[in-house]
Structure 1
């Protein structure tokens, strides 16, 4: 199984695990991208979701309702799956490492040298870009096949994000979701 197939398989399983009783309250899915052990060669995807009930519970802690709704710090922090994590998904971690090697982007840790630092920066950025593209393509596929709508009863946006929000997060989320579906989140980033 290729890494992108593995990514899709675990994301589908994770979203399918959202309890039917909770599905009507889910207003957004989270595709949180991070790096295992802060190693840019080892990106991971954590799939989760947030609910209207959680927004109501956190309103008093947020600066405004939009922050309670869109800032991941206020979300449930449920980890339905962590794709590529060496501990919880060792098969995915191995498939991810192989995928990066096949792309010709794998690098070894340095001994020393400034040239190494600049070349590694470019490789790390390319790995990040390819991983983000794979996640965006997955979201487009989940929407195009109607999977999200079938499971949650309606289309909901999938936020492709990190801990910090910036224009790249807005663009990624906008490009991955059907037109208009993530507009409130994108506006919050761009106007924040």
Structure 2
């Protein structure tokens, strides 16, 4: 099994871990892209969701955020959306199989590096590993749509929001690339690069 196949399998199976009875209230699946110690060798995906009930709770608070912020800004996501329900990727504690596969493939591709390697080698390889993981996450979200996993799990298509708290500007481009346009129109309405935003 390849790292990509492992990620695909784990991502699809994680949808089955969403709590039963919430299906009608889940309006988005969340992909938080992160890395242990912000090291591109140790990228992982925290997969989760957010619900209409959570948005309603936020909007009912005395100092409520703006509606778009309550719905789409990860700063307001509950643990199910921010921390996720499953961590997948090169994370030794939460996904040892994924960690093993990722290291094997990075070594085979000549992209792994050690702490004592020259800094320019580390930088060059990190510049390939980081975007490569982002592209993989976009592809995983596309597959959830194309293969019908989201509809099977939730009864309807929902957007997958991809975000990286250390590169917040990337969330619009990643989310746009990962979803059918009609599912992310509201999310993209706040994209500073979009006309009329």
Q: Would the TM-score normalized by the shorter structure come out above 0.5?
A: yes
Separation in structure 1 between the aligned mates of residue 191 and residue 64 of structure 2, nearest angstrom: 15
CA distance, structure 2, for counterparts of residue 117 and residue 62 of structure 1: 46
Q: Tell me what 2:6 maps to.
A: 6
Equivalences, count = 187
From 141, 158, 161, the counterpart of 1:159: 161
Structure 2, unaligned runs of 5 or more: none
Uncovered stretches (5+) of structure 1, i.e. residues with no partner: none
Q: Decide whether the 8 Å contact of 1:70 with 1:188 is kept in 2.
A: no
Q: Identify the range of structure 1 (19-28 vs 75-84) with the bigger mean alpha-carbon deviation.
A: 75-84
Q: Which residue of 2 aligns with 1:104?
A: 110
Q: For residues 117-172 of structure 1, give each alpha carbon's deviation from its aligned partner in whole angstroms, at most 9, with x where no partner exists.
A: 34422321211111111111111111111110121111100011112521x32111
Task: Confirm or deny that 1:88 pairs with 2:94.
Answer: yes
Matched, 1:63 2:35: no
Q: Partners of 2:159 and 2:79 in 1: how far apart? A: 17
C-alpha displacement at 1:187, in angstroms?
2.0
Contact 1:174–1:186 (8 Å) recurs in 2: yes
Q: Which residue of 1 aligns with 2:30?
A: 30
Measured on the aligned residues, the alpha-carbon RMSD in Å equals 1.8
TM-superposed CA distance for 1:19, in Å, is: 2.4
Query: 1:62, CA displacement in angstroms?
Result: 4.6
2:76 corresponds to which residue? Answer: 74
Q: Which residue of 2 aligns with 1:49?
A: 49
The 5 A counterparts of 1:145-184 are 145-163=147-165, 164-166=167-169, 168-184=170-186
Take 1:124 and 1:187, find their aligned partners in 2: how far apart are those partners? 32
Deviation at 1:32, TM superposition (A): 0.6
Mapped partners of 2:64, 2:35: distance in 1: 27
